[in-house]
Structure 1
């Protein structure tokens, strides 16, 4: 390593972001005496939402530390479960994560999502205004400064995406309490209250219903209930903390 360079070693979980890193997970970066470690890590393609502790020559330092030539830097991933202090744990998902949004809502996790693309500035501002953790596969969106908190979703498969989020944040799970369409809270409803949404066969076959307090959508144990039940049971068994089983 040249005296004017710093050696950066990325944790294995961060290598997906950095094509500049060598096979051993290291990269050499010029030390300009101005750039902070946060800027250095971002210059390697790593969103700071994915970064945990940073050590410089073996001692933990803040992201604002300005490294000097000849120093060695180690960058860890965020610890799991990740704690997000300052507000109740709630999520905001970008337009590409609709299935994940519905599954989180199925589990009773407060999840905001719009099926239309609001654009990066609006999403980032909404995250800050409502203090929601912004989930996205868009690295550029996560590198914006406005979001209150954020996390990269690594997988493209909804099953694995759900596991990622539940494992990383361990939110409280209260299945069957939220509307999968709008995130509103559900309440018990009589057949008469939801009669306008029921076909004849449904009215004759079911007598237990729920209704969203926000959009009014009706719910019952229909044809897809077993599939949904399997998703819920797996998530609760694997990820629900004590006291979070609903």
Structure 2
């Protein structure tokens, strides 16, 4: 019989396996040269989604070459997942692929540094993620398998609410709601009312006195009663992560 390796994957990783072979235990041919990382990805699991791995009960990295008959276990990424931070950073930075625009706006609403461009191709996304040390969030498994990518994560969920919960659960980032421009990701800077009078409607000038402007694109925001929908997003996120501030007073624009 041809020599084989047994690979057991965590339940959380079964979603990446083809439907016809979606079982916790897989037996793959042993060719004597394939690395553990190659074998795991051959099943359909992107390496950024694979957590601690063992071979015969001993911890092993992606570059290990299991012997014939080896018993491999692949766990899911532990949550919350630690992201290496640059000096002065208090939370990870992110960049999202073109299909996650709504998620990007919600992450900015929570004060997360979130880059997003609706016309950026895969190679450019990897370059930005690497150069700016941003976590690349995507639902493109092929994008996560690019060897050049320094840090990526698959976003679970088909709707923005579920996607946001998944990101917050995975990274547990510190939140600063209402501090970023949801349009461009710039920081919101407090401004006096007279500085923005020409940029807002007369009714807004009469009703509100506290304003902010995006330091990058110039979008004006004002403190006021916002839609219940955005308030709920912030409140739910704050409960999940256990951080945040000033959730009761939102910016309108």
TM range (shorter): over 0.9
CA distance in 2, matches of 1:170, 1:75: 23
1:190/1:86 Cα in 2 relative to 1: closer, same or farther (>3 Å)?
closer
Measured in 2, the distance between the counterparts of 1:235 and 1:178 equals 16
TM-score by length of 1: 0.93
**Once the 2 structures are TM-superposed, how far is the Cα of residue 223 of structure 1 from its aligned partner?**
6.6
Show the counterpart of 2:95.
92
Which of 222, 226, 229 is residue 227 of structure 1 equivalent to? 229
Report the CA distance shift for 1:4/1:170 in structure 2 as closer, same or farther (over 3 A).
same
Q: Which runs of 5+ in 1 are unaligned?
A: none
Does the aligned pair in 1 maintain the 2:174–2:241 contact within 8 Å? no
Is 1:110 aligned to residue 109 of structure 2? Answer: no
Partner SS, residue 72 of structure 2: strand
- Structure 1 partner of 2:135: 133
Q: Which residue of 1 aligns with 2:207?
A: 205
For the residue of structure 1 that corresponds to 2:111, the secondary structure is: coil
Aligned length: 242
Q: Report if the CA contact (8 A) 1:21-1:27 is conserved.
A: no
Matching of residue 40 in structure 1 with residue 39 in structure 2: yes
CA offset at residue 153 of structure 1? 0.5
Q: Where do 5+ consecutive residues of structure 2 fail to align?
A: 247-253
Deviations 1:28-57 (A, max 9, x none): 111111110000011111111111111111
RMSD of aligned alpha carbons: 1.7
Residues 152-181 of structure 1, C-alpha deviation per residue, up to 9 Å, x if partnerless?
001111011111111100111011111111
1:3–1:70 CA contact under 8 A, matched in 2:
no
Contact 2:7 2:25 in 1 (8 A): yes
Residue of structure 1 equivalent to 2:53: 54
- Could you tell me how far apart the structure 2 residues matched to 1:73 and 1:21 are? 21
Once the two structures are superposed, residues 219-239 of structure 1 have per-residue CA deviations (whole angstroms, 9 ceiling, x without a partner) of 124674432122111111221
Equivalent positions of 1:40-189 (< 5 A) are 40-87=39-86, 88=89, 89-116=92-119, 118-189=120-191
Q: 1:23 to 1:179 in 2, by over 3 A?
A: closer
1:194 alignment partner, one of 185, 193, 196: 196
In structure 2, distance between residues paired with 1:208 and 1:230: 22
> Contact between 2:14 and 2:23, CA under 8 Å: does it hold in 1?
no
Cα–Cα, structure 1 residues 187 and 225, in superposed 2: closer, same or farther, change >3 Å? farther
Q: Give the secondary-structure state (helix, strand or coil) at the position aligned to 1:192.
A: helix
SS at match of 1:39: helix
Equivalent residue for 2:17?
18
